Structure 1
């Protein structure tokens, strides 16, 4: 269904059959100024090449190409949404400004499923330009952008493991906006195998699936090195930190910070050595599970160990462990317990330029 060039959020929702749960998101996009630079998404071989460089599984390329064609058709509600999502990303480039929250569009086919990813593809040149001004090495730049494809691969593995086919497809959208979008705002980077994000008052470090980060200890020197990287940002930590007066936390958010890890691994295990290097430990406990029977810590443990995001606890317990870490994750859950997503790390007080450690 086509819409007028001057269409508002209500008309877009009506054209796509979106409910009230989409009002806040679409109205936020309506308030986003759209510049003269169009939201261009590559096509054909160029699109496939870009998707491959971003580590998007080849099995998803054809569906993404169809979604891109539909989403960029002028005069459509999908084009309205993509253009404004791209404009919002460009307006927040280099800033820790949250994007308008987007409800899942699982019942709107491939275009709804991949809408945010398509906007990310359109701003790759903008992110690369920001990286160039910061003198970010090419390998770090592309490794960081590749976080997008890795998250798509998590979704694909989850679907392949699920036994309920169409129902699983409907319940497994691309749910990583809060993780992936900071990459395309120039705030999250893959550094030494870690996913590091500069927020307004801290550095948030996560341990992605498929990496082996435990050979690097998160000590004070490591924290300063990460902080030194983020001092290149044009806006550094936005408006949240008064330099010289307030400490910056460089913390690792992970299930491995749960004290229960000690029940499964000896003190000399690489995970235990890793967590022993923290300056402070923040143990808040797992908290209550959501309606799926999983806590944020459970989901973090399952994704980190298995590279999957099971829909619920029952599905998670059906996974087949093949490594000691996978067995530990599942044994804890099968015993009726939950994993905590704790944040532990270092406090940084020295804001002078800190030289990189020698290799």
Structure 2
């Protein structure tokens, strides 16, 4: 198919289709699971029934009128693009953002890619001796992200479609309360929406990480844990008590000197994670918790939140 024609039919920039074609090249894709097996797989990936129903309704069956040739091309090549970087751990966008209001095939194209790659990454995990329980806990972040996206009225997916490529490339592992992200000399820590951030849960997860990576990735050397998040913004200390879970989490880290992060708007990220909305006006956001009141009051005063990075030795 002509790349410019594909871009035009999808309504996306031609350079984004050219990027997919270049990175995927002639590399192999991966098949989706059989339709009959999909409900059980979606359940294991913690996909809620309402999201699972949509995914099944848009399933890319042969001959489905929902799937135009350009959509099938993008699905095939985005799978190949991500598969080509199996074992990678850098941020990777699987393809262009699509107009998701055009139906389930458009809305969930990158979910179908994730499902196709699940078998590929499970083989990668087995080759590294990763326990099956860790594999499925990690991959079940799909359901969590779909649920968050639904709560956000579909505002959250453009970030999530790139985030989830880490899971199906073997770049990230959920070990207890935290997700541990392979990197260059440091293990990056991410905090999923999975309950209180208690010191005990954090310490247990860190201990899991200390044992996990030498065992399953012995050729990689890690000397520190790292994190980049609005949760490390020291301005939170103006609002939260010293014994709060967030401040005690901050206390573990030595912060890097502040630099404005490229491509990250900390004010938007705070809204994303605390309120699960990017567009609700400040005066309509809830003020039920100390953290919610802190976020709103800080922004209404004309100040801004910071995305900070920090580390501490393993």
Same fold (TM > 0.5): yes
Report the TM-score range of the alignment, normalised by the length of the smaller protein. 0.7 to 0.9
In the alignment, is the contact (CA less than 8 A) between 1:41 and 1:68 conserved in 2? no
1:43 partnered with 2:43: no
Paired with 1:71 and 1:347, the residues of 2 have a C-alpha distance of 52
Paired with 2:33 and 2:282, the residues of 1 have a C-alpha distance of 36
Q: What's the CA shift for 1:286?
A: 6.1
- Structure 1: which 5+ runs fail to align? 1-6, 160-168, 238-242, 349-359
Residue 69 of structure 1: SS of its match in structure 2? coil
Match of 2:306 in 1: 340
Match of 2:28 in 1: 34
Match of 1:129 in 2: 123
Residue 58 of structure 2: SS of its match in structure 1? helix
Match of 1:105 in 2: 98
Match of 1:208 in 2: 192
The structure that is helix-richer by fraction is 2
Match of 2:291 in 1: 325
In the alignment, is the contact (CA less than 8 A) between 1:284 and 1:342 conserved in 2? yes
TM-score scaled by length of structure 2:
0.84
Match of 1:187 in 2: 171
CA distance change for structure 1 residues 206 and 317 in 2, over 3 Å: closer, same or farther? Answer: farther
Aligned residue pairs total: 311
1:77-115: CA deviation from partner (whole Å, max 9, x where unpaired): 222222222223332222235545522112543322211
2:230 to 255, 273, 276: 255
In the alignment, is the contact (CA less than 8 A) between 2:81 and 2:94 conserved in 1? no
2:141 to 147, 169, 176: 147
In the alignment, is the contact (CA less than 8 A) between 2:177 and 2:202 conserved in 1? no
Q: What's the CA shift for 1:70?
A: 5.7
In the alignment, is the contact (CA less than 8 A) between 2:89 and 2:172 conserved in 1? no
In the alignment, is the contact (CA less than 8 A) between 1:216 and 1:274 conserved in 2? no
In the alignment, is the contact (CA less than 8 A) between 2:177 and 2:201 conserved in 1? no
- Structure 2: which 5+ runs fail to align? none
Residue 68 of structure 1: SS of its match in structure 2? coil
In the alignment, is the contact (CA less than 8 A) between 2:176 and 2:205 conserved in 1? no
